Amino acid sequence: MISVGIVGGTGYTGVELLRILLRHPQVTVRMLTSRTEAGRAVADMFPSLRGHTDLVFSDLTVDALKTCDVVFFATPHGVAMKYAEDLVAHGVKIVDLAADFRLQNLADFETWYGMKHTCPELLKQSVYGLPELNRAHISKANVVGNPGCYPTTVQLGLAPLLKEQGLIDLNSIIIDAKSGVSGAGRKADLGLSFTESTDSFKAYAVAGHRHHPEIVEGLNRIASTQTEFKNLVFVPHLVPMIRGMLSTIYIDLTEQGTETDLQSLYETFYQHEYFVDVMPHKSVPETRSVRGSNMLRIALYQPQPKKLVVVVVQDNLVKGAAGQAVQNMNLMCGLSEQLGLTGIALMP
């Protein structure tokens, strides 16, 4: 059994990790830390866990974390990098669900997250945790930066087009993304209140979203380029739903792209991927088809001969966060990648 610690267990990614890991056949959750809730029974805070766990929130103690095989950081940005070196030195594997190990570009990290990176050497050795594109490296990694939710949809949505050169105009990409409200985290915030956000729709972060540089870095990694995607446009929107994320991606095809059977390209690219579902031509993926599951579904349309539209859906808290983190843990620990993650979406 793998013993797991979760740092920051009171947010949505923390409780979602618990939901998954408490049913994982090879995992024991040993500790769950919270600055504010130490000493409180976890099931008292989250009644959905009543009957399923006797865990009690504990203070964050590095010594205690060192006894774990794997530690998940479900914390604000900047926490994991404080403890990572010490833990890794003691043989603990780390999956950070925040941004500390997502961006290799330190300047971007500082600009978008407003802090200096405190362990740039470890960052260099860390691995970007998108298993479908990066499986081999993750298997050997000690530190994995779990991707942001939007970047997961965009990278998996575009990878087949980027791995083969010459199919698209790399500077034409427009991402119109939509997220359920849980993506904003578990917090008291007027703008996220029921009364303010239900029965309404809006764009947000129009001045720039932190996932923008992660998307650009990720696409360059996939395309084996370095300075492309500079004109990428990314506009996120807020949908009055709890979970779910849908990205509509608009791409200009090249001549070569228009002559390619893109549906086949995608189906072949992902044919062995359990968690990526390329839907039949003209399917309409709904976010609810992945609610609570680690699946990500893709559909393609070609509304104009030279225009491709890629629609990607996932559950932002599962494939977009906690589920993918467990997928990474499975790989890092030599387990079957799907273990604990085969739950079926809750529909309706």
Which residues 205-264 are close enough to bind its own copies by CB under 8 A?
Answer: 206-208, 230-235, 237, 239-244, 246, 248, 250
Give the residue carrying structure tokens 């407003």: 114
Report CA-CA distances (Å) from 334 to 92, 135, 295, 331.
14, 11, 21, 5
- Spatial separation of the C-alpha atoms in residues 309 and 249, rounded to whole Å: 6
Choices 78-86, 190-198, 259-267, 323-331; region in contact with its own copies by CB under 8 A: 190-198
Looking only at residues 140 through 159 of this chain, which bind its own copies when binding is defined by CB under 8 A?
none
Q: Is 149 labeled as catalytic in the residue annotation?
A: yes
197 binds its own copies (CB under 8 A): yes
User: Toward its own copies, which CB reaches closer, 56 or 174?
Assistant: 174
The residue among 129, 61, 57 whose CA lies nearest residue 93 is 129
Options 118, 203, 256, 268; binder of its own copies; rule CB under 8 A: 203
Using the rule CB under 8 A, which residue among 155, 293, 327, 328 binds its own copies? 293
The binder of its own copies chosen from 4, 6, 15, 32 (CB under 8 A): 15
Pair 6, 64: CB distance under 8 Å? no
Identify the bridge partners of residue 32 per DSSP, sorted by sequence position.
6
Find the catalytic residue in 68, 119, 149, 333. Answer: 149
Contact flag: residue 51 with its own copies (CB under 8 A): yes
Q: What's the CA gap between 15 and 8, in Å, rounded? A: 9
The minimum distance between CB 324 and its own copies, in angstroms, equals 16
Among 89, 202, 224, 225, binds its own copies (CB under 8 A): 202
Shortest separation between residue 65's beta carbon and its own copies, angstroms? 24
Residue 12 binds its own copies, judged by CB under 8 A: yes
Which tokens go with 313?
């859906």
Query: What's the CA angle centered on 281, arms 280 and 283, to 5 degrees?
Result: 70
Q: Which residues contact 342 (CB under 8 A, 6 or more apart)?
A: none
Q: Which 297-326 residues touch its own copies, going by CB under 8 A?
A: 297, 299, 301, 303-304, 306-307, 309, 311, 313, 317
Tell me the residue type at 290: V
Q: How far is the CB of 240 from its own copies (least distance, A)?
A: 6
List 276's β-bridge partners, or say none: 296
Q: Which residues are catalytic?
A: 149
